[in-house]
Amino acid sequence: MPRVKLFDENEVLTKAMHLFWKQGYAATSVQDLVSHLGINRASLYSTFGDKEELFKKAFALYRKTNREGLSQFFNDRPQVKEGLAELFHNAILEAITDKDKKGCFVVNTTTELVPNDESILDILETNKQDFEALFYQYLKQGQESGQIKAGLDLRSTASLLYTLYNGIRVVAKVRPDEQQLSASVQVALSVLEG
C-alpha cells in the first residue's frame, strides 16, 4: 500500500525557504531541515530530493513570489514615480525592521555561493533579467504616459533601480539608517524628473 503524505508540500517548501533565507545554504544541515520542517528524512528525500535540490526549489519559490509580487505592485500603481518611491520606502522599512537581518535571499545566495557554485549563476542571471525587465516595463509605461522625462535610457535606469533595490537590503544589514537610505533613494529617483 502506498504511503500517504501527511504534510502540505507547499507549506514545507515555504518553511524551507525561510530557513535557507535566514541561515544560508552551508549553515543549514539536513538535520536542521528535518527539525524545522517537521518531516522525517525519508519524506524529505522522496518529496524534495537532496539538500541541494530542496534549496533550489525553495530559492525558486522565493524568486517567483517576489517577481509576481513586484509585477502586481506595479500593476496596482499607475503613477510611476510615486509607485517607485513607495516601493523603495517599503524596502527600507522591511530592511530596517527585520530583526533577523536576513536581507535579500538572492543577494545572500549570490555572496555565499558565487563563484564556487557554477550551477547557480544561470539562475541568478535569469533572476536579474526578470527583475530588470519589470522595472523597465514600469519605466516605459511612465515614459509613454509623460510621467518620466523623454530620452531617459530606460534599460540603464532599470538596472540602476534593481541594483539599488538589492543594495538597500545589504546596507541595512550593516547600518539600518532610514534617513540615509531614503536620501540615497531620492538621489536615484531624481534621474526620472523631466
pLDDT in tens, 111-166: 888 888 788 999 999 999 999 999 999 999 999 999 999 999 999 999 999 999 99
Instruction: Give the residue carrying C-alpha cell 533579467.
Output: 129
Nearest to 77 by CA among 68, 87, 65: 87
> Does 90 share its domain with 54?
no
194 CB-near residues (< 8 Å, 6+ apart): 148, 149, 150
Q: Are 13 and 61 in contact (CB under 8 A)?
A: yes
> Does 40 share its domain with 116?
no
Task: Find the mean pLDDT for residues 173-180.
Answer: 88
108 CB-near residues (< 8 Å, 6+ apart): 21, 24, 102
pLDDT band for position 174 (cuts 50, 70, 90): confident
> Does 90 share its domain with 183?
yes
Total number of domains constituting the chain: 2
- Could you tell me if residue 108 is inside a domain? yes
Instruction: Choose one of 14, 30, 59: the last residue of a domain.
Output: 59
For residue 38, pLDDT beyond 90: no
For residue 8, pLDDT beyond 80: no
Q: Are 95 and 175 in contact (CB under 8 A)?
A: no
- Could you tell me if residue 52 is inside a domain? yes
Instruction: Choose one of 59, 87, 105: the last residue of a domain.
Output: 59
- Could you tell me if residue 82 is inside a domain? yes
pLDDT band for position 3 (cuts 50, 70, 90): low
Could you tell me the residue range of the domain that residue 126 belongs to? 77-192
> Does 47 share its domain with 83?
no
79-112: pLDDT as tens digits: 999 999 999 999 999 998 988 888 889 988 998 8
Q: Are 142 and 80 in contact (CB under 8 A)?
A: yes
Q: Give the CATH number of the domain where residue 134 resides.
A: 1.10.357.10
pLDDT recorded at residue 194: 60
pLDDT band for position 4 (cuts 50, 70, 90): very low
Whole-prediction pTM: 0.88
Give alpha helix (H) positions in 40-147. 41-48, 51-75, 80-97, 105-113, 118-144
3-class secondary structure, 74 = helix
For residue 180, pLDDT beyond 90: yes
